[in-house]
Amino acid sequence: MLKAGRNYTLKVSRISEFGLYLQDEEGQEVLLPNRYTSLSDQVGDEKEVFIYHDSEDRLVATTETPTIRVGEVAYLKVVDKTVHGAFLDWGLHGKDLFLPNRNQQGGIFAGHSYVVYAYEDSITGRCVASNKLKSFIDNEVISVKVRDEVDILVASESPIGFRVVINNRHWGMIYRNQLFRPVQIGDRMKGYVRRITEDNRIDISLQQQGYRQVQDSAVTLRDLLQANGGFLPLNDNSDPQEVARMTQMSKKVFKRSVGMLLKSGEVEMTEEGIKLIR
């Protein structure tokens, strides 16, 4: 059964003047409008599409890729606001994502962006948004483990760091003393699980831990050297903040990375800084 807010791989069942009719394995059809078709399309072809409701409450397909799907979080901009709710830009031509008044927390203003969760409304079947994230994101049953690479979205900022959504499912925290590059609300990136506490709090790092971290950082440092003419004005005596600013690494990781490059004979260290020699 086709549902809104999801991606499907469907076969072309017939061609009409309005576009292609696509069919799932159960025989349900949905229209892919002419805007997204070509003259080379034929019956039997497979199409990767996203399904949503049009303005007349009909399921329709698109080959466009939305910023968010059912079960996901994203940082979306409010493009319009009415007495019934707000409308968010989710990357689809001529169709915005509805954020009903009942799903709003705090002030919602046109032109501003908010972290929202997309879900299927149980009554209408439509894909709608909510910025009441606690209704969908929790740490009751943890699905990740220490050292896992995870997808994170920065959701809010506090004096101690940034709260993030992990894999669209859990809450996590990046502490300020673990940050060595700029971060802001709405950023989506890879992270690594540093620690899971007994009360299911999850600490996240933007760098891998251990030997793998040093390996990756050594590659990053070598790339930085190449991009800067083979030289960086950093050495063992450099200020940690300057190291973080120039390399987005902690002083500790920087020194270990330099050590690995020195051992492989790729760099040399001078009083002026680190120099790439091969």
How many contiguous H segments (helices) and E segments (strands) does the chain have? 3, 18
- Average predicted confidence (pLDDT) for the chain: 92
Structural tokens at position 141: 């049953």
> DSSP character for 164?
E
Structural tokens at position 107: 């002030």
pTM: 0.78
Cα dihedral 217, 218, 219, 224 sign: positive
Torsion of CA 58, 62, 65, 71, to 10 degrees: 30
Helical spans, DSSP H, in 114-209:
none
255 pLDDT band (50/70/90 cuts)? confident
How far does Cα 205 stand from its chain's mean position? 15
| Residue 6: burial class (beta carbons within 10 Å; 0-12, 13-18, 19+) | middle
> DSSP character for 34?
G
Least confident interval from 27-36, 146-155, 210-219? 210-219
**Domains recognised in the chain with CATH numbers:** 6-62 (2.40.50.330), 73-135 (2.40.50.140), 149-205 (2.40.50.140), 210-276 (1.10.10.10)
pLDDT, tens digit, for every residue of 50-70? Answer: 999 998 889 999 999 999 999
What pLDDT, on the 0 to 100 scale, is given for residue 211? 53
Q: Helix axis angle, 240-247 relative to 251-263, nearest 10°?
A: 70
Query: Taking a C-beta distance cutoff of 8 angstroms, is the pair 191, 150 a contact?
Result: yes
**Separation between Cα atoms, residue 161 and residue 174, nearest integer Å:** 6
pLDDT, tens digit, for every residue of 115-167? Answer: 999 999 999 999 999 999 999 999 999 999 998 999 999 999 999 999 999 99
Q: How many residues does the chain have?
A: 278
Q: Residue 271 region, left (φ>0) first, then alpha (ψ -120 to 50), else beta?
A: alpha
Least confident interval from 30-44, 69-83, 143-157, 199-213? 199-213
Residues 6+ apart with CB under 8 A from 63: 32, 36, 47, 48, 49, 50
Work out the average pLDDT over 6-18.
Answer: 96
Work out the average pLDDT over 199-224.
Answer: 82
